[in-house]
A and B are shown apart, each in its own frame.
Chain A
Protein backbone atom coordinates (compact mmCIF):
# COMPACT_ATOMS: atom_id res chain seq x y z
CA UNK A 1 0.00 0.00 0.00
CA UNK A 2 1.21 3.45 -0.88
CA UNK A 3 1.75 5.46 2.19
CA UNK A 4 3.01 8.89 2.92
CA UNK A 5 4.46 9.17 6.36
CA UNK A 6 4.48 12.84 7.11
CA UNK A 7 6.93 13.43 9.87
CA UNK A 8 5.20 13.12 13.19
CA UNK A 9 7.03 15.19 15.71
CA UNK A 10 6.23 13.25 18.86
CA UNK A 11 8.79 10.73 20.04
CA UNK A 12 7.62 7.90 22.27
CA UNK A 13 9.20 7.67 25.65
CA UNK A 14 8.53 7.40 29.33
CA UNK A 15 10.79 10.12 30.68
CA UNK A 16 9.75 12.49 33.42
CA UNK A 17 8.86 15.09 30.81
CA UNK A 18 6.84 12.61 28.75
CA UNK A 19 4.79 11.69 31.80
CA UNK A 20 3.96 15.28 32.75
CA UNK A 21 0.37 16.31 32.15
CA UNK A 22 0.11 17.86 28.67
CA UNK A 23 -1.68 20.91 30.12
CA UNK A 24 1.32 21.58 32.36
CA UNK A 25 3.66 21.28 29.39
CA UNK A 26 1.62 23.70 27.28
CA UNK A 27 1.43 26.30 30.05
CA UNK A 28 5.11 25.89 30.94
CA UNK A 29 6.09 26.37 27.30
CA UNK A 30 3.93 29.46 26.86
CA UNK A 31 5.28 31.00 30.08
CA UNK A 32 8.85 30.34 29.00
CA UNK A 33 8.26 32.04 25.66
CA UNK A 34 6.49 34.93 27.38
CA UNK A 35 9.38 35.39 29.83
CA UNK A 36 11.97 35.21 27.06
CA UNK A 37 10.17 37.76 24.96
CA UNK A 38 9.58 40.20 27.84
CA UNK A 39 13.21 40.24 28.96
CA UNK A 40 14.97 43.50 28.08
CA UNK A 41 17.68 43.47 25.43
CA UNK A 42 21.11 42.58 26.70
CA UNK A 43 19.92 40.70 29.81
CA UNK A 44 22.73 38.25 29.22
CA UNK A 45 22.67 36.66 32.67
CA UNK A 46 18.97 35.86 32.30
CA UNK A 47 19.59 34.41 28.85
CA UNK A 48 22.26 32.16 30.31
CA UNK A 49 19.81 30.92 32.94
CA UNK A 50 17.11 30.28 30.36
CA UNK A 51 19.63 28.39 28.26
CA UNK A 52 20.62 26.31 31.29
CA UNK A 53 16.91 25.61 31.83
CA UNK A 54 16.56 24.27 28.29
CA UNK A 55 19.58 22.04 28.88
CA UNK A 56 18.08 20.69 32.10
CA UNK A 57 14.74 20.02 30.39
CA UNK A 58 16.52 18.39 27.46
CA UNK A 59 18.45 16.10 29.79
CA UNK A 60 15.17 15.08 31.42
CA UNK A 61 13.37 14.27 28.16
CA UNK A 62 15.57 11.32 27.36
CA UNK A 63 15.85 12.55 23.78
CA UNK A 64 19.44 13.63 24.22
CA UNK A 65 20.69 17.15 24.94
CA UNK A 66 21.27 17.93 21.29
CA UNK A 67 17.77 16.91 20.07
CA UNK A 68 16.22 20.38 20.24
CA UNK A 69 19.53 22.14 19.85
CA UNK A 70 20.09 20.72 16.38
CA UNK A 71 16.55 21.31 15.21
CA UNK A 72 16.27 24.80 16.65
CA UNK A 73 18.38 26.37 13.91
CA UNK A 74 15.47 26.11 11.47
CA UNK A 75 14.04 29.16 13.24
CA UNK A 76 17.09 31.34 12.69
CA UNK A 77 16.20 32.51 9.17
CA UNK A 78 13.00 34.03 10.57
CA UNK A 79 15.02 36.08 13.03
CA UNK A 80 16.78 37.60 10.03
CA UNK A 81 13.65 39.69 9.61
CA UNK A 82 15.23 41.80 12.34
CA UNK A 83 18.52 42.16 10.48
CA UNK A 84 17.87 45.86 9.90
CA UNK A 85 17.96 46.63 13.63
CA UNK A 86 21.76 47.07 13.97
CA UNK A 87 21.66 49.67 11.22
CA UNK A 88 18.53 51.60 12.11
CA UNK A 89 18.59 51.85 15.91
CA UNK A 90 20.43 55.03 16.95
CA UNK A 91 23.42 54.62 19.24
CA UNK A 92 27.22 54.79 19.31
CA UNK A 93 28.69 53.50 16.05
CA UNK A 94 30.94 50.47 16.20
CA UNK A 95 31.52 49.84 12.53
CA UNK A 96 30.90 51.39 9.15
CA UNK A 97 29.89 49.48 5.98
CA UNK A 98 29.78 51.99 3.18
CA UNK A 99 26.73 54.09 3.83
CA UNK A 100 25.53 51.82 6.67
CA UNK A 101 26.48 52.45 10.28
CA UNK A 102 26.45 49.54 12.71
CA UNK A 103 25.25 50.82 16.10
CA UNK A 104 26.08 49.18 19.41
CA UNK A 105 22.49 49.43 20.77
CA UNK A 106 21.05 47.99 17.57
CA UNK A 107 23.46 45.09 17.59
CA UNK A 108 22.63 44.23 21.18
CA UNK A 109 18.94 44.30 20.36
CA UNK A 110 19.41 42.10 17.34
CA UNK A 111 21.50 39.54 19.21
CA UNK A 112 19.00 39.45 22.09
CA UNK A 113 16.17 38.82 19.65
CA UNK A 114 18.15 36.04 18.04
CA UNK A 115 18.82 34.37 21.39
CA UNK A 116 15.21 34.76 22.57
CA UNK A 117 13.72 33.14 19.49
CA UNK A 118 16.34 30.42 19.47
CA UNK A 119 15.59 29.51 23.13
CA UNK A 120 11.83 29.67 22.60
CA UNK A 121 11.97 27.38 19.60
CA UNK A 122 14.00 24.86 21.57
CA UNK A 123 11.52 24.68 24.41
CA UNK A 124 8.58 24.42 21.98
CA UNK A 125 10.32 21.64 20.07
CA UNK A 126 10.84 19.67 23.24
CA UNK A 127 7.21 20.15 24.23
CA UNK A 128 5.88 18.78 20.93
CA UNK A 129 8.44 15.99 20.90
CA UNK A 130 7.37 14.67 24.29
CA UNK A 131 3.60 15.06 23.82
CA UNK A 132 1.47 12.95 21.50
CA UNK A 133 -0.55 15.12 19.14
CA UNK A 134 -3.87 13.84 20.50
CA UNK A 135 -2.77 14.77 24.03
CA UNK A 136 -1.74 18.21 22.87
CA UNK A 137 -5.21 18.69 21.41
CA UNK A 138 -7.09 17.86 24.58
CA UNK A 139 -4.68 19.95 26.62
CA UNK A 140 -5.42 22.96 24.41
CA UNK A 141 -9.14 22.23 24.65
CA UNK A 142 -8.93 22.14 28.43
CA UNK A 143 -7.05 25.44 28.33
CA UNK A 144 -10.09 26.99 26.66
CA UNK A 145 -8.87 27.23 23.10
CA UNK A 146 -12.15 27.52 21.13
CA UNK A 147 -13.59 24.09 20.33
CA UNK A 148 -14.26 24.61 16.63
CA UNK A 149 -10.58 25.44 16.22
CA UNK A 150 -9.55 22.25 18.03
CA UNK A 151 -11.94 20.19 15.90
CA UNK A 152 -10.55 21.66 12.71
CA UNK A 153 -6.98 20.91 13.73
CA UNK A 154 -7.97 17.43 14.88
CA UNK A 155 -9.67 16.52 11.59
CA UNK A 156 -6.86 18.14 9.65
CA UNK A 157 -4.34 16.02 11.48
CA UNK A 158 -6.33 12.85 10.82
CA UNK A 159 -7.02 13.48 7.13
CA UNK A 160 -3.80 15.20 6.17
CA UNK A 161 -2.29 11.74 5.79
CA UNK A 162 -5.25 10.34 3.89
CA UNK A 163 -5.23 13.28 1.48
CA UNK A 164 -1.47 13.09 1.09
CA UNK A 165 -1.85 9.43 0.16
CA UNK A 166 -4.55 10.30 -2.34
CA UNK A 167 -2.47 13.00 -3.98
CA UNK A 168 0.45 10.59 -4.12
CA UNK A 169 -1.76 8.07 -5.95
CA UNK A 170 -2.95 10.75 -8.35
CA UNK A 171 0.55 11.94 -9.21
CA UNK A 172 1.71 8.36 -9.65
CA UNK A 173 -1.19 7.67 -11.99
CA UNK A 174 -0.20 10.73 -13.99
CA UNK A 175 3.46 9.76 -14.00
CA UNK A 176 2.75 6.24 -15.19
CA UNK A 177 0.78 7.59 -18.14
CA UNK A 178 3.33 10.24 -19.03
CA UNK A 179 5.28 7.98 -21.34
CA UNK A 180 7.48 9.35 -24.07
CA UNK A 181 6.18 8.51 -27.54
CA UNK A 182 8.05 8.43 -30.82
CA UNK A 183 7.23 12.01 -31.62
CA UNK A 184 7.05 15.05 -29.46
CA UNK A 185 7.12 14.45 -25.70
CA UNK A 186 5.86 16.36 -22.75
CA UNK A 187 3.52 19.06 -23.86
CA UNK A 188 3.35 22.80 -23.57
CA UNK A 189 3.20 24.82 -20.43
CA UNK A 190 -0.52 25.39 -20.80
CA UNK A 191 -1.20 21.70 -21.24
CA UNK A 192 0.87 20.88 -18.20
CA UNK A 193 -0.97 23.54 -16.25
CA UNK A 194 -4.26 21.98 -17.24
CA UNK A 195 -3.17 18.56 -16.03
CA UNK A 196 -1.95 19.94 -12.72
CA UNK A 197 -5.14 21.96 -12.31
CA UNK A 198 -7.17 18.82 -12.97
CA UNK A 199 -5.24 16.96 -10.31
CA UNK A 200 -5.83 19.65 -7.72
CA UNK A 201 -9.51 19.89 -8.63
CA UNK A 202 -9.87 16.14 -8.44
CA UNK A 203 -8.26 16.13 -5.01
CA UNK A 204 -10.55 18.91 -3.79
CA UNK A 205 -13.63 16.99 -4.99
CA UNK A 206 -12.45 13.82 -3.31
CA UNK A 207 -11.84 15.70 -0.08
CA UNK A 208 -15.30 17.20 -0.29
CA UNK A 209 -16.95 13.82 -0.87
CA UNK A 210 -14.96 12.29 1.93
CA UNK A 211 -16.07 15.01 4.30
CA UNK A 212 -19.70 14.06 3.55
CA UNK A 213 -18.98 10.41 4.27
CA UNK A 214 -17.12 11.24 7.49
CA UNK A 215 -20.01 13.40 8.62
CA UNK A 216 -22.39 10.51 7.91
CA UNK A 217 -20.17 8.21 9.95
CA UNK A 218 -20.35 10.71 12.80
CA UNK A 219 -24.13 10.95 12.55
CA UNK A 220 -24.41 7.17 12.53
CA UNK A 221 -22.67 7.09 15.90
CA UNK A 222 -24.95 9.59 17.54
CA UNK A 223 -23.26 12.92 16.75
CA UNK A 224 -25.78 15.73 17.24
CA UNK A 225 -23.75 18.83 16.54
CA UNK A 226 -21.59 18.97 19.63
CA UNK A 227 -18.38 17.01 20.08
CA UNK A 228 -18.24 15.39 23.50
CA UNK A 229 -15.07 14.36 25.24
CA UNK A 230 -14.12 12.45 28.34
CA UNK A 231 -13.13 14.40 31.45
CA UNK A 232 -9.34 14.47 31.57
CA UNK A 233 -7.49 13.11 34.60
CA UNK A 234 -6.74 15.53 37.46
CA UNK A 235 -3.28 17.03 37.82
CA UNK A 236 -0.99 14.98 40.03
CA UNK A 237 1.22 16.42 42.76
CA UNK A 238 4.25 16.04 40.52
CA UNK A 239 2.48 18.08 37.84
CA UNK A 240 1.62 20.86 40.30
CA UNK A 241 5.07 20.95 41.90
CA UNK A 242 6.76 21.04 38.53
CA UNK A 243 4.58 23.90 37.39
CA UNK A 244 5.11 25.91 40.61
CA UNK A 245 8.86 25.35 40.42
CA UNK A 246 8.93 26.38 36.77
CA UNK A 247 6.91 29.55 37.36
CA UNK A 248 9.12 30.53 40.31
CA UNK A 249 12.24 29.99 38.25
CA UNK A 250 10.89 32.03 35.33
CA UNK A 251 9.80 34.85 37.66
CA UNK A 252 13.29 35.01 39.12
CA UNK A 253 14.92 35.01 35.71
CA UNK A 254 12.54 37.77 34.65
CA UNK A 255 13.32 39.89 37.71
CA UNK A 256 17.02 39.34 37.27
CA UNK A 257 16.76 40.53 33.70
CA UNK A 258 15.27 43.85 34.78
CA UNK A 259 17.48 44.42 37.83
CA UNK A 260 20.94 43.61 36.43
Chain B
Protein backbone atom coordinates (compact mmCIF):
# COMPACT_ATOMS: atom_id res chain seq x y z
CA UNK B 1 0.00 0.00 0.00
CA UNK B 2 1.22 3.50 -0.64
CA UNK B 3 -0.19 5.87 1.96
CA UNK B 4 -0.96 8.72 -0.34
CA UNK B 5 -3.86 11.12 -0.36
CA UNK B 6 -4.77 12.29 -3.84
CA UNK B 7 -7.51 14.84 -4.28
CA UNK B 8 -8.21 16.14 -7.74
CA UNK B 9 -10.57 19.01 -8.53
CA UNK B 10 -12.95 18.15 -5.68
CA UNK B 11 -16.19 20.13 -5.62
CA UNK B 12 -18.92 19.88 -3.04
CA UNK B 13 -22.18 21.66 -2.44
CA UNK B 14 -24.20 21.16 0.75
CA UNK B 15 -27.90 20.39 0.33
CA UNK B 16 -28.76 23.96 1.38
CA UNK B 17 -26.87 25.22 -1.68
CA UNK B 18 -23.78 26.39 0.19
CA UNK B 19 -20.77 25.68 -2.00
CA UNK B 20 -18.07 24.46 0.38
CA UNK B 21 -15.44 23.11 -1.99
CA UNK B 22 -14.76 24.69 -5.37
CA UNK B 23 -12.13 22.60 -7.04
CA UNK B 24 -9.65 21.44 -4.41
CA UNK B 25 -6.55 19.58 -5.55
CA UNK B 26 -4.06 18.15 -3.13
CA UNK B 27 -1.36 15.48 -3.21
CA UNK B 28 0.18 14.12 -0.03
CA UNK B 29 3.08 11.68 -0.16
CA UNK B 30 3.47 8.61 2.10
CA UNK B 31 4.73 9.55 5.56
CA UNK B 32 4.28 13.27 5.00
CA UNK B 33 2.86 15.39 7.82
CA UNK B 34 0.82 18.22 6.44
CA UNK B 35 -0.97 21.05 8.24
CA UNK B 36 -4.22 22.41 6.84
CA UNK B 37 -4.88 25.99 7.89
CA UNK B 38 -7.36 28.65 6.93
CA UNK B 39 -10.22 30.73 8.32
CA UNK B 40 -13.42 29.20 9.67
CA UNK B 41 -15.72 28.16 6.84
CA UNK B 42 -12.83 27.69 4.41
CA UNK B 43 -13.90 24.09 3.77
CA UNK B 44 -11.26 22.30 5.84
CA UNK B 45 -13.68 20.04 7.70
CA UNK B 46 -15.68 19.39 4.54
CA UNK B 47 -12.51 18.28 2.78
CA UNK B 48 -11.67 15.97 5.66
CA UNK B 49 -15.10 14.37 5.62
CA UNK B 50 -14.45 13.43 1.98
CA UNK B 51 -11.22 11.61 2.77
CA UNK B 52 -12.99 8.59 4.20
CA UNK B 53 -16.21 8.87 2.34
CA UNK B 54 -18.51 10.36 4.99
CA UNK B 55 -19.41 12.92 2.35
CA UNK B 56 -19.68 11.39 -1.11
CA UNK B 57 -17.30 12.47 -3.83
CA UNK B 58 -18.53 12.05 -7.35
CA UNK B 59 -16.26 10.85 -10.12
CA UNK B 60 -13.41 9.20 -8.23
CA UNK B 61 -11.58 12.43 -7.65
CA UNK B 62 -10.55 11.42 -4.14
CA UNK B 63 -8.04 8.60 -3.89
CA UNK B 64 -6.65 7.27 -0.65
CA UNK B 65 -3.82 4.73 -0.61
CA UNK B 66 -4.41 4.35 -4.32
CA UNK B 67 -8.07 3.43 -3.80
CA UNK B 68 -10.72 5.67 -5.33
CA UNK B 69 -13.22 6.56 -2.57
CA UNK B 70 -16.67 5.32 -3.50
CA UNK B 71 -19.38 3.05 -2.18
CA UNK B 72 -17.60 -0.27 -2.81
CA UNK B 73 -14.29 0.73 -1.30
CA UNK B 74 -15.66 2.46 1.80
CA UNK B 75 -14.73 -0.41 4.14
CA UNK B 76 -11.10 -0.43 3.03
CA UNK B 77 -10.85 3.34 2.88
CA UNK B 78 -12.18 3.71 6.42
CA UNK B 79 -9.72 1.12 7.68
CA UNK B 80 -6.89 3.04 6.04
CA UNK B 81 -7.88 6.56 7.09
CA UNK B 82 -8.34 7.35 10.76
CA UNK B 83 -10.51 10.45 10.98
CA UNK B 84 -10.71 12.19 14.35
CA UNK B 85 -13.46 14.75 14.78
CA UNK B 86 -13.04 18.11 16.40
CA UNK B 87 -15.36 17.62 19.37
CA UNK B 88 -14.19 14.59 21.38
CA UNK B 89 -17.72 14.23 22.74
CA UNK B 90 -18.74 13.25 19.21
CA UNK B 91 -15.84 10.86 18.87
CA UNK B 92 -16.34 9.13 22.21
CA UNK B 93 -19.86 7.77 22.12
CA UNK B 94 -19.57 4.55 24.13
CA UNK B 95 -20.17 4.08 27.84
CA UNK B 96 -16.52 3.29 28.61
CA UNK B 97 -13.12 4.19 27.15
CA UNK B 98 -12.43 0.53 26.40
CA UNK B 99 -15.58 0.14 24.33
CA UNK B 100 -14.82 3.31 22.40
CA UNK B 101 -11.29 2.28 21.48
CA UNK B 102 -12.50 -1.25 20.63
CA UNK B 103 -15.30 0.05 18.40
CA UNK B 104 -13.17 0.53 15.26
CA UNK B 105 -11.32 -2.79 15.20
CA UNK B 106 -14.47 -4.68 16.25
CA UNK B 107 -16.44 -3.27 13.35
CA UNK B 108 -13.58 -4.03 10.97
CA UNK B 109 -14.03 -7.70 11.87
CA UNK B 110 -10.78 -8.10 13.80
CA UNK B 111 -10.63 -11.20 16.04
CA UNK B 112 -11.45 -10.56 19.69
CA UNK B 113 -8.07 -11.37 21.22
CA UNK B 114 -6.47 -9.01 18.74
CA UNK B 115 -9.06 -6.32 19.50
CA UNK B 116 -7.94 -6.38 23.13
CA UNK B 117 -4.28 -6.18 22.15
CA UNK B 118 -4.95 -3.28 19.83
CA UNK B 119 -6.88 -1.39 22.48
CA UNK B 120 -3.98 -1.79 24.89
CA UNK B 121 -1.46 -0.71 22.27
CA UNK B 122 -3.50 2.31 21.14
CA UNK B 123 -4.05 3.56 24.68
CA UNK B 124 -0.36 3.03 25.45
CA UNK B 125 0.58 5.06 22.37
CA UNK B 126 -1.35 8.08 23.65
CA UNK B 127 -0.26 7.50 27.26
CA UNK B 128 -3.74 6.66 28.54
CA UNK B 129 -3.39 2.99 29.53
CA UNK B 130 -4.73 3.62 33.02
CA UNK B 131 -8.06 4.88 31.62
CA UNK B 132 -9.33 1.58 30.21
CA UNK B 133 -12.46 1.25 32.32
CA UNK B 134 -13.15 4.96 32.81
CA UNK B 135 -16.37 6.63 31.79
CA UNK B 136 -15.84 9.24 29.07
CA UNK B 137 -17.89 12.06 30.58
CA UNK B 138 -15.67 12.22 33.63
CA UNK B 139 -12.53 12.99 31.61
CA UNK B 140 -10.89 16.37 30.98
CA UNK B 141 -10.81 17.81 27.45
CA UNK B 142 -7.13 16.95 27.07
CA UNK B 143 -7.73 13.35 28.11
CA UNK B 144 -10.71 13.08 25.78
CA UNK B 145 -8.66 14.41 22.85
CA UNK B 146 -5.95 11.83 23.43
CA UNK B 147 -8.42 8.99 23.74
CA UNK B 148 -10.19 10.22 20.60
CA UNK B 149 -6.90 9.71 18.76
CA UNK B 150 -6.54 6.26 20.33
CA UNK B 151 -9.97 5.29 18.98
CA UNK B 152 -8.59 5.49 15.45
CA UNK B 153 -5.05 4.28 16.24
CA UNK B 154 -6.61 0.96 17.27
CA UNK B 155 -7.72 0.55 13.65
CA UNK B 156 -4.03 0.63 12.59
CA UNK B 157 -4.67 3.35 10.00
CA UNK B 158 -2.04 4.34 7.49
CA UNK B 159 -3.24 7.90 7.37
CA UNK B 160 -4.39 10.08 10.24
CA UNK B 161 -6.75 12.95 9.56
CA UNK B 162 -7.29 15.17 12.59
CA UNK B 163 -9.68 18.09 12.83
CA UNK B 164 -8.34 20.78 15.18
CA UNK B 165 -6.69 18.45 17.69
CA UNK B 166 -5.30 21.29 19.85
CA UNK B 167 -8.53 23.32 20.15
CA UNK B 168 -9.49 23.91 23.75
CA UNK B 169 -6.36 22.40 25.30
CA UNK B 170 -4.40 24.01 28.11
CA UNK B 171 -0.65 24.53 27.49
CA UNK B 172 0.41 21.32 29.15
CA UNK B 173 -2.09 19.15 27.30
CA UNK B 174 -1.15 20.95 24.07
CA UNK B 175 2.54 20.20 24.66
CA UNK B 176 1.67 16.53 25.21
CA UNK B 177 -0.30 16.52 21.98
CA UNK B 178 2.58 18.07 20.02
CA UNK B 179 4.94 15.36 21.25
CA UNK B 180 2.37 12.72 20.39
CA UNK B 181 1.86 14.01 16.84
CA UNK B 182 5.60 14.18 16.31
CA UNK B 183 6.10 10.60 17.48
CA UNK B 184 3.30 8.98 15.48
CA UNK B 185 4.63 7.46 12.26
CA UNK B 186 1.48 7.80 10.14
CA UNK B 187 0.91 10.04 7.16
CA UNK B 188 -0.95 13.02 8.58
CA UNK B 189 -3.28 15.76 7.51
CA UNK B 190 -4.17 18.00 10.42
CA UNK B 191 -6.39 21.05 10.34
CA UNK B 192 -5.66 23.70 12.93
CA UNK B 193 -5.64 27.41 13.78
CA UNK B 194 -2.57 26.94 15.94
CA UNK B 195 0.29 28.15 13.72
CA UNK B 196 2.89 27.65 16.42
CA UNK B 197 1.89 23.97 16.47
CA UNK B 198 2.24 23.92 12.69
CA UNK B 199 5.71 25.38 12.94
CA UNK B 200 6.82 22.71 15.40
CA UNK B 201 5.35 19.57 13.87
CA UNK B 202 4.56 19.94 10.20
CA UNK B 203 7.14 20.40 7.43
CA UNK B 204 4.43 21.27 4.89
CA UNK B 205 1.45 23.61 5.11
CA UNK B 206 -1.64 24.01 2.95
CA UNK B 207 -3.77 27.16 3.24
CA UNK B 208 -7.42 26.81 2.30
CA UNK B 209 -9.75 29.75 1.81
CA UNK B 210 -13.24 29.96 0.35
CA UNK B 211 -13.31 26.37 -0.82
CA UNK B 212 -10.00 26.50 -2.64
CA UNK B 213 -6.35 25.74 -1.90
CA UNK B 214 -4.80 29.19 -1.61
CA UNK B 215 -1.22 28.17 -0.96
CA UNK B 216 0.74 24.95 -0.57
CA UNK B 217 4.40 24.65 0.31
CA UNK B 218 7.09 24.23 2.94
CA UNK B 219 5.93 25.55 6.30
CA UNK B 220 8.84 27.95 6.78
CA UNK B 221 8.12 29.68 3.46
CA UNK B 222 4.41 30.00 4.14
CA UNK B 223 4.75 31.18 7.70
CA UNK B 224 7.36 33.76 6.77
CA UNK B 225 5.11 35.30 4.11
CA UNK B 226 3.25 37.86 6.21
CA UNK B 227 1.25 39.24 3.28
CA UNK B 228 -0.05 35.77 2.40
CA UNK B 229 -1.03 35.04 5.99
CA UNK B 230 -2.85 38.36 6.39
CA UNK B 231 -4.70 37.84 3.13
CA UNK B 232 -6.21 34.67 4.56
CA UNK B 233 -6.91 35.93 8.04
CA UNK B 234 -4.05 34.07 9.72
CA UNK B 235 -1.54 35.28 12.21
CA UNK B 236 1.26 33.72 14.21
Q: Which residues of A contact B (CB under 8 A)?
A: 1, 8, 132-134, 137, 154-155, 157-159, 161-162, 210, 213-214, 216-224, 228-231
Contact = CB atoms under 8 A, between A and B. Distances in A.
B155 A221 contact: yes
Contact of B90 (A133, A137, A157, A210): A210
A213 B87 CA distance: 9
Nearest to A230: B112
Interface string B122-155: 0000000000010111001100000000011001
B99 interface: yes
Nearest to A153: B95
Interface stretch (B31-39, B103-111, B181-189, B206-214): B103-111
B20 interface: no
Interface of B: 49, 52, 54, 75, 78-79, 83, 85, 87, 89-96, 99, 102-104, 106-108, 112, 115-116, 133, 135-137, 140-141, 151-152, 155
Given A158-B137, A213-B85, A221 B102 contact: no
B155 A218 contact: no
Contacts of A220: 52, 54, 78, 83, 85, 152
If over half of A's interface residues share one DSSP class (helix, strand or loop), that class is named, otherwise mixed; here it is: helix
Contact of A221 (B87, B107, B112, B137): B107
Nearest to A213: B90
A219 B54 contact: yes
Given A221-B104, A224-B107, 20 more contacts: A132-B133, A133-B135, A134-B94, A134-B95, A134-B135, A158-B92, A158-B95, A158-B136, A216-B49, A218-B103, A220-B54, A221-B107, A221-B151, A221-B152, A221-B155, A222-B78, A222-B108, A223-B103, A223-B107, A228-B106
Contact of B54 (A155, A214, A216): A216
Contacts of A137: 95
A218 B93 contact: yes
Nearest to A209: B90
